[in-house]
Amino acid sequence: MTPQHQPSRTPAAVSASPEAGLRRERFGEHTVIAISGDLDIASTPALRERLNAALRDTGPLVVIDLSGVTFCDASGLALLVGARRRTLPKGVTVVLAGPRPQVNRLLRVTGLSRVFTVRPTVSAARLARPGIRSAAA
Distance in angstroms between the alpha carbons of the first and the last residue of the chain: 56
pLDDT at 58: 92
Per-residue pLDDT band at 129 (split at 50, 70, 90): low
Are 86 and 55 in contact by the 8 Å Cβ rule? The answer is: yes
CA-CA distance, 89 to 29, in Å (whole number)?
Answer: 17
pLDDT at 12: 33
Q: Which domains does the chain have, with CATH numbers?
A: 18-125 (3.30.750.24)
pLDDT at 137: 38
CA-CA distance, 59 to 54, in Å (whole number)?
Answer: 11
pLDDT for residue 3 is more than 60: no
pTM of the model: 0.80
With a CB cutoff of 8 Å and minimum separation 6, the contacts of 81 are 112, 115
Per-residue pLDDT tens digits for 12-67: 332 344 578 999 999 888 999 999 999 999 999 999 999 999 999 899 999 999 99
Q: With 0-12 CB in 10 A as exposed, 13-18 as middle and 19+ as buried, what is 53? A: exposed
Per-residue pLDDT tens digits for 77-126: 999 999 999 999 999 999 999 999 999 999 999 999 999 999 999 999 98
